[in-house]
Chains A and B, each alone.
Chain A
Amino acid sequence: MREHNRIVNALQNAALVLLTVSALFLLLRTPMVRGGWALASPAASPQPAQEPAGELSAMLGSVHIMVTADSEYGRFGQLCAGEDDPLVQQVIPLFREALGSAAELEAAAQQQFRDALEGMAVYLDLTVELPLTAVAACLGESAGSDRPVRALALTADGEDAVSMYLRGGDGGLFRCATALPASALETICAGVQPNGSSFAYETNYTALEPYTLLAASVAQPPELQADLPAGYTDYNLMTALDFNAHTKFLYTDRDGAVVVEESPRTLRIGPDGTVLYSSAAAAPSYRPGGEGPALPEALRAAWSLASALTNGTGASPLRLSGAEETEEGTYVVRFRYQAEGVPVCFPDESDALAVTVGAAGAVSFTYRCRAYTPAEEEGAPLLPPAMAAAIASLHPDSGLSVAYVDAGGARLSPCWLS
């Protein structure tokens, strides 16, 4: 009898273990638990891809792009191509490789450049003039020259390797050899369908700046609603700028602006969206790396500040529009707004954000806080490009582009800007 009990007990134990394991197994196979487990278990979820280095790449605004296939009348032009544009995504790596492998710059003649543009070529008009160092930094490379650049071009010149041309805002042209194989350019050029675009020097509009890109057609940008963002509050700005949001050193001046004095920093928050900041010493958050002021570090510090301001208030994103060194050894980094890939300008040509960056960090800045959202209603269509070019050509040496002009109103329409 005892032996029988012992066997039954063992069988009961075995059955309990088996059924428990089986129940657990089945439980894990149920969709609810499988879903929850997959979310909870790091091993079951895929390893997220690392964000690529080079956070400055987002600083560059939209560009005008012209791609020339190796055939007559084979140009494809596009105005205001944003960073998400597939063609821009394709050509940016080429410019990064060309900049990184560039040899010494040498002066180039206009005719030499124009001849080079007759063959396979990619022309990138930055729409603003930037130091070459800043352009290289935005592309994740370094450059040996601070030469101001308005446009860059890669041409094949019938050689195995690609040549890079740089054009300054003053019309100066420079060329350098690169290690980029011509086949890389060929792949891009072969992939576009010409759309009848041309440079101004190839047309009857010779009064225009010669390398103005005259696109055959332009996509109609939407109307915009402009306003102060809902997040434009003293609290949000002070938090974004690492001020004590509950400080007692705060008062409202005669113009209704809130002034915060937190020695050695002063912040003035205007009721119209204008923010002024000055400091005898930089805030630690925006202290650039390294000892001496170098442009890439200044750009990084300014970009960090710009991101803090726009993220903190919910304002529209900013894009780099200029960077220059001052006589005091500081850098002034300028930004403008960009909505739906189209630049937004102010009538007084002021900047959306201008930051002075010294060796210790951001010394001062002026900021115009604005938020732009596409309006549902359609506005008046843009003038046809040919008509706009004809009108613009009445003003010698002017360029032609599409932009919004923010004069303070609640509604912005896209317009041609000459």
Chain B
Amino acid sequence: METFRLKNIAILILLLLNAGLLVLIGSQRWQSRRAASETVRQLEELCAASQLTLDSRLQLSQQPLSALAISRHGETERVIASYLLGSSAVSSSQGGGIYSYSSDKGSIQFRSGGSFDGSRLEVAVEDIAGFSEKFCSEFGYRDMVVDVDGGTGSVTAVQEVAGVTVYGCTAALYFEEGVLTGVTGAHVSLENAAVESTGRIDCVTALVRFLDYRGATGIVCSQVTDIQCVYLLQATAATVRLLPVWRIETDTNPYFVDCTTGAVSRI
């Protein structure tokens, strides 16, 4: 009988503890939501005072991405070279982190920062649109722009990693009379990528930074039409990084706001 009562007391205590924790978590969430909506309201007031309107479809609760340190992935480079030059392409190190892939169709160089470059290629392509589409789909390029007339012209696209656009990682294929004559661009792989623990500014703060920039530089725009967190390729002396930046689309020009420093730059 004693055990029965003790267990009931324990159940009662646990019920009270659960209820208390639920109240605590609920109040925390309510407070954070209230703070977020208050922040958004203040931002809207600030924008209105600066004659800048925010599109109603903007998602201001988006979370910023983390910066990524990128490692070179030789296998991806080999596959890209094989796609463009054929499987007979042979790799050779040129020194300085430059690798050259050569075949009878030409040669393409891959640099340590992720960029690649090939000129004077002679790769006959029957279906330029299909060839380019397959290239983009295999290597994660999106937003393909085809500017080809009579087998001559160029195809450009920008890379996406994990569904996020990487600015600076574009690919351009150049054709002349149905022959791929040149290729240039950059490609990154998330294999062995390391997350960097840098400070990240949120969407609302990015817009405030943009407002400050607008006020300081006198740029002309009256509406923010879109805001998204994207990556920017940064190949520096020390490392290759994917830097998260807020891409702010306005009714005049798009701008980047660095997620770490808050620095604003025009694209």
**Cβ of B10 under 8 Å from chain A:** yes
In-complex Cβ contact of B117 among A15, A16, A184 (8 A):
A184
* Residue contact A92 to B237, C-beta cutoff 8 Å: yes
Q: Is the interface of B mostly helix, strand, loop or mixed?
A: mixed
Interface residues on A, range: 35 or more
Question: Which residues of B lie under 8 Å from residue A16 when comparing CB positions?
Answer: 7, 10-11, 14
Docked complex Cα distance between A46 and B237 (Å): 23
Docked complex Cα distance between A83 and B117 (Å): 27
In-complex Cβ contact of B94 among A9, A20, A57, A101 (8 A):
A101
B92's closest neighbor in chain A, by CB?
A: A179
Question: Which residues of A lie under 8 Å from residue B194 when comparing CB positions?
Answer: 46-50
Docked complex Cα distance between A160 and B69 (Å): 30
Question: Which residues of A lie under 8 Å from residue B21 when comparing CB positions?
Answer: 23, 26-27, 29-30
Interface of chain A residues 240 through 280 with chain B (CB within 8 A): none
**Cβ of B96 under 8 Å from chain A:** yes
* Residue contact B237 to A88, C-beta cutoff 8 Å: yes
Docked complex Cα distance between A102 and B98 (Å): 11
Min C-beta distance of B124 to chain A, whole Å: 21
Flag B107-143 by CB within 8 Å of A: 1 or 0 each: 0010111010101100000000000000000000000
Question: Which residues of B lie under 8 Å from residue A102 when comparing CB positions?
Answer: 95-96
B68's closest neighbor in chain A, by CB?
A: A49
Flag B179-193 by CB within 8 Å of A: 1 or 0 each: 000001000000000
Min C-beta distance of B155 to chain A, whole Å: 17
* Residue contact A19 to B117, C-beta cutoff 8 Å: no
Question: Which residues of A lie under 8 Å from residue B104 when comparing CB positions?
Answer: none
Docked complex Cα distance between A184 and B3 (Å): 79
**Cβ of B17 under 8 Å from chain A:** yes
A22/B18 contact (C-beta < 8 A), A100-B96, A100-B98 known: yes
Question: Which residues of B lie under 8 Å from residue A23 when comparing CB positions?
Answer: 14, 17-18, 21
A45/B197 contact (C-beta < 8 A), A12-B11, A102-B95 known: yes
**Cβ of A340 under 8 Å from chain B:** no
Docked complex Cα distance between A16 and B3 (Å): 13
**Cβ of A75 under 8 Å from chain B:** no
Question: Which residues of B lie under 8 Å from residue A5 when comparing CB positions?
Answer: 4
Docked complex Cα distance between A30 and B97 (Å): 48
In-complex Cβ contact of B7 among A12, A45, A101, A160 (8 A):
A12
Interface of chain B residues 208 through 227 with chain A (CB within 8 A): none
Q: Which of B22-30, B42-50, B52-60, B82-90 contacts A (4 or more CB under 8 A)?
A: B22-30
Flag A85-128 by CB within 8 Å of B: 1 or 0 each: 00011101100111111100000000000000000000000000
Interface of chain B residues 167 through 189 with chain A (CB within 8 A): 184
In-complex Cβ contact of B112 among A26, A90, A97, A98 (8 A):
A97
**Cβ of B165 under 8 Å from chain A:** no
A98/B197 contact (C-beta < 8 A), A19-B15, A30-B28 known: no
In-complex Cβ contact of B113 among A26, A57, A93 (8 A):
A93
**Cβ of A324 under 8 Å from chain B:** no
In-complex Cβ contact of A160 among B11, B119, B237 (8 A):
B119
Question: Which residues of B lie under 8 Å from residue A50 when comparing CB positions?
Answer: 69, 194
Docked complex Cα distance between A138 and B75 (Å): 29
* Residue contact A26 to B119, C-beta cutoff 8 Å: no
* Residue contact B111 to A97, C-beta cutoff 8 Å: yes
A19/B11 contact (C-beta < 8 A), A96-B97, A184-B111 known: yes
B24's closest neighbor in chain A, by CB?
A: A30
Residue in B21, B196, B235 whose Cβ sees the most chain A Cβ within 10 Å: B21
Docked complex Cα distance between A9 and B1 (Å): 11
In-complex Cβ contact of A19 among B18, B197, B236, B237 (8 A):
B18
**Cβ of A183 under 8 Å from chain B:** yes
Question: Which residues of A lie under 8 Å from residue B22 when comparing CB positions?
Answer: 26
* Residue contact A97 to B98, C-beta cutoff 8 Å: yes
Min C-beta distance of B202 to chain A, whole Å: 17
A181's closest neighbor in chain B, by CB?
A: B117
A57's closest neighbor in chain B, by CB?
A: B237
A101/B14 contact (C-beta < 8 A), A45-B197, A46-B195, A93-B113 known: no
**Cβ of B162 under 8 Å from chain A:** no
**Cβ of B239 under 8 Å from chain A:** yes
In-complex Cβ contact of A49 among B25, B117, B239 (8 A):
B239
**Cβ of A390 under 8 Å from chain B:** no
A100/B95 contact (C-beta < 8 A), A12-B7, A12-B8, A88-B237 known: yes
* Residue contact B196 to A46, C-beta cutoff 8 Å: yes
Question: Which residues of A lie under 8 Å from residue B3 when comparing CB positions?
Answer: 9
In-complex Cβ contact of B120 among A45, A100, A160 (8 A):
A160
**Cβ of B267 under 8 Å from chain A:** no
Min C-beta distance of A92 to chain B, whole Å: 4
**Cβ of A369 under 8 Å from chain B:** no
Docked complex Cα distance between A395 and B195 (Å): 54
Interface residues in chain B, defined as those with a beta carbon under 8 Å from any beta carbon in chain A: 3-4, 7-8, 10-11, 14-15, 17-18, 21-22, 24-25, 28, 66, 69, 94-98, 100, 109, 111-113, 115, 117, 119-120, 184, 194-197, 235-239
Q: What are 29 A-B contacts with C-beta separation under 8 Å?
A: A5-B4, A9-B3, A12-B7, A16-B7, A19-B14, A22-B18, A23-B21, A26-B22, A29-B21, A30-B25, A47-B195, A48-B194, A49-B69, A49-B194, A49-B196, A52-B239, A93-B113, A97-B98, A100-B98, A101-B94, A101-B95, A139-B237, A141-B95, A141-B96, A179-B98, A180-B96, A181-B109, A183-B115, A183-B184
Contacts A5-B4, A102-B95, A180-B111 known; 9 new A-B pairs at CB < 8 A: A30-B25, A50-B69, A52-B239, A89-B236, A89-B237, A100-B98, A160-B120, A181-B111, A184-B117
